[in-house]
Amino acid sequence: MVFKKMFDNLINRLSKTLSNIKNRGRLTEANIKETLRIVRIALLEADVALPVVHSFISSFKKKIIGKKINQSLTPGQEFIKLFNNQLIKTMGSNNELNLSTKPPAIILVVGLQGVGKTTFVSKLGHFLFKKQKKKILTVSTDIYRPAAIQQLEILSKKALIDFFPSNKNQLPTNIVKKALEKAIIQFYDVLIVDTAGRLSIDEDMMIEIKEISNVLKPIETLFILDAMTGQDAINTAKEFNRIIPFTGIVLNKTDGDARGGSALSVQQITGKPIKFMGTGEYIDEIEIFHPKRIASRILGMGDVVSLIEEIESKFDQNQVKKLAKKIKDGNKFNFNDFLIQIRQIRKMGNINSLIKKIPGVNNLFSSMQEDNRQIIKMEAIINSMTLKERKKPEIIKRSNKCRIAAGSGLKIQDVNQLIKQFEIIQKMIKKGGFQKIIKNFNFMSKLKR
């Protein structure tokens, strides 16, 4: 399945409008007014809250009209620069987690039922374990939802972090007291607490969360917001923050059919920063919310830094070095090597999500409907080959192809297509293309730092 990204509609609507103004040699009140009219419609269609749209347009209009143009920029480029700055300001500062306290740092995760709190707890734990080498303990106080505690236990194991057991017969406050005691005794860096939710804010839920918060005194209380529910979710966040103030927001399910308005509205409405985005179903599909990078994506300028970080976290550089040494030693690139690279790509996740982070490439591949299914086909074909065929692709004739197609459950045309792709890559490597890829990867890594 190809996921529709949260900002796609907004990007598509703005790209043509901003591209037109970017090429203008002169900015007039008339063409600025017309551009902002289209921008206003685009923001409203993206489900940005009306007061935020009004504030955005009004503030930007004051900055651009009568603005002295930087000599190094064209008037159109100056417009884009100021527009980018206004987007960043609207989404708030880059406010990362505050863990600067005597261990364990306690993170309380709150929100309505069904927004993905439990999954986020495990994702956050995995993120802190992998990225910051923290010792993590999770605990669930959701004694109401069937199998909620077991779900967190399973997800914590998958995330390679520790879980504190509890059961439905315990009081939530007693659960967190015991979990905190263990976290202190066993020197955990972070305790992440999952709480129960309701279909809507009610008195019982608020009383329970207040009691848990009073016991734990968390350094961070994160409100999970379902990006797909738009303005309703933002209104809920505002009401929740009024009763129990939180320190930050998590935009969850941003890989779905959300229109992006929540990202541009919630900080302005609640006054609280967005700290993370949930970008998919897998345990590592979580991103720190960087307003500058998000603004860059919205304006179609890509997000190279996030792309590099994603590659570094999921790509096995040891495999790359092994292949580089093999090629340098004069050995041919074969289907065994190709299979390793295919599996590396599968680890990267959805191809479209990577393409959208490359400047200029997003528009070029806007109609691309490729996903992991094609990669799975390729892997199935190679798995149907004999060891000899993988090592020496040149021995594969028509009779071999028929057997391979039957073994993989695909057509002979699919086998032919894979072999053709393989031969192109093989030729590229022979001409030194692989070394160029390695150099570019190292250069991009240096750029990030």
252 is in an annotated binding site: yes
Residue 91 near residue 274 (C-beta atoms within 8 A) = yes
Q: Say what the pLDDT of residue 206 is.
A: 85
Please state, for a pLDDT cut of 70, what percent of the chain lies above it. Answer: 70
Q: Say what the pLDDT of residue 36 is.
A: 83
254 is in an annotated binding site: yes
The domain ranges of the chain are 8-91, 105-301, 308-448
Residue 113 near residue 252 (C-beta atoms within 8 A) = no
329 is in an annotated binding site: no
284 is in an annotated binding site: no
- Give Cα separations from 6 to 11, 44, 289, 318, 449 (angstroms): 10, 14, 14, 34, 28
Distance CA 63, CA 56 (A): 11
Distance CA 293, CA 248 (A): 18
Condensed to tens digits (0 to 9), the pLDDT of residues 69-86 reads 544 456 666 777 777 788
196 is in an annotated binding site: yes
90 is in an annotated binding site: no
- Give Cα separations from 282 to 126, 269, 278, 349, 433 (angstroms): 11, 30, 9, 9, 32
Distance CA 378, CA 419 (A): 10
More reliable by pLDDT, 341 or 226: 226
Distance CA 389, CA 339 (A): 13
111 is in an annotated binding site: yes
Q: Is 8-91 in CATH node 1.20.120.140?
A: yes
CATH code matching the domain that covers 308-448, chosen among 1.10.260.30, 3.40.50.720, 3.90.950.10, 3.40.50.300: 1.10.260.30
Instruction: Evaluate the CA torsion angle 151, 125, 183, 171 in order and state its sign.
Output: negative
Condensed to tens digits (0 to 9), the pLDDT of residues 366-413 reads 433 445 577 788 889 999 999 999 888 889 998 899 999 999 899 999
Condensed to tens digits (0 to 9), the pLDDT of residues 199-215 reads 777 888 888 999 999 99
- Stretch 425-436: mean pLDDT: 65
CATH level 3 topology of 105-301:
Rossmann fold (3.40.50)
433 is in an annotated binding site: no
260 is in an annotated binding site: no
Q: Say what the pLDDT of residue 195 is.
A: 92
Q: Within its chain, how far is the Cα of 424 from the centroid? A: 32
Q: Say what the pLDDT of residue 422 is.
A: 83
Strand order in the sheet with 136-140: 162-164, 136-140, 190-194, 105-110, 220-226, 248-252, 274-278, 286-288
125 is in an annotated binding site: no
